[in-house]
Amino acid sequence: MKLLLIEDDASMQTTLQRALSRRGMEVLACTDGGLAVAHWTATKPDVVVLDLSLPNLDGLQVLALARKQGLVTPVLILTARGTVGDRIMGLNLGADDYLPKPFDLDELEARLRALSRRRGGVSSRAESGPAATIVGALRYEKESGAIYHEGLVLELTPRELALLQALMVKPSHAVSKEKLFELVFPGEVDVQYEAIEVVVYRLRKKLLHTGVTLMTLRGLGYLLKVEA
């Protein structure tokens, strides 16, 4: 496993590099939040361990920027800032796990290996950006067509999947009901126009607790919004 450790505490960084290296991991390190995304892009790690208190860019800012650029590597937030608010914000921005300091090394290793297994690693093609779209904790892998929430495939009907794919291609932008109808019911002339509302209703229920809301904008259509 190739691990990118984004941590500015020299003692913590050295300890983790030594301990995890002895457990068979290749550990790369970055100490500066402002350089973290560039390191992330260049090294293409299997898992990222991210501290929140970093110089130049806060860890949450690093995470938001990485997800915006299409970096889909699993992220474990490791921090002394263990408040519920930080945890929720981190997960909403796309973190996959959260471990407060102080922690047990065996637990850290188990969580890292679980993240690596669950995601099956991240291909360099996915890391380049265009092959995946991130909206909050949702990830749409365009090559396979699958949509994931926290590493697990969302169980959707074909029509629900087509609707969510269309909305994730344009996050935070409204997609008209007419356009969605064409994508969800292609060539089906006998289907009533209002049928799209039934698919929206069912999909909205399945997005509960994902941190992403399917919103209706009257006269404009529908869009996805990441909950604050």
44 and 107 within one domain: yes
117 and 15 within one domain: yes
pLDDT at 199: 92
Q: 102 preceded by cis ω (within 30°)?
A: yes
Is pLDDT at 42 greater than 80 in this prediction? yes
Domain-located, residue 79:
yes
DSSP string, 75-113: EEEEES---HHHHHHHHHTT--EEEESS--HHHHHHHHH
Is pLDDT at 128 greater than 60 in this prediction? no
Residue located via tokens 């904008």: 217
Burial class, 107, CB count within 10 angstroms (exposed 0-12 / middle 13-18 / buried 19+): exposed
Domain-located, residue 148:
no
102 and 17 within one domain: yes
Residue 27: how many CA atoms within 13 Å on its side-chain side?
22
118 and 14 within one domain: yes
Domain-located, residue 188:
yes
Is pLDDT at 191 greater than 90 in this prediction? no
205 and 115 within one domain: no
12 and 117 within one domain: yes
Dihedral over Cα of 184, 189, 193, 197: its sign:
negative
Range of the domain at 172: 157-226
115 and 6 within one domain: yes
pLDDT at 92: 74
- Greatest mean pLDDT among 46-60, 89-103, 130-144 lies in 46-60
Give the amino acid at 184.
V
- How many C-beta neighbours within 10 Å does residue 38 have? 11
CATH number at residue 217: 1.10.10.10
CATH number at residue 21: 3.40.50.2300
Mean pLDDT, the chain, rounded, equals: 84
Of 125, 124, 220, 117, which Cα lies nearest the Cα of 173?
A: 220
pTM listed for this prediction: 0.54
108 and 207 within one domain: no
166 and 70 within one domain: no
Of 176, 167, 181, 162, which Cα lies nearest the Cα of 225?
A: 167
Domain-located, residue 37:
yes
14 and 118 within one domain: yes
CB 99 within 8 A of CB 67: no
Of 82, 99, 114, 105, which Cα lies nearest the Cα of 17?
A: 105
Total domains in the chain come to 2
- How many C-beta neighbours within 10 Å does residue 58 have? 15
Domain-located, residue 150:
no
Domain-located, residue 129:
no
189 and 77 within one domain: no
Domain-located, residue 131:
no
Domain-located, residue 140:
no
Is pLDDT at 86 greater than 70 in this prediction? no
78 and 14 within one domain: yes
pLDDT at 187: 74
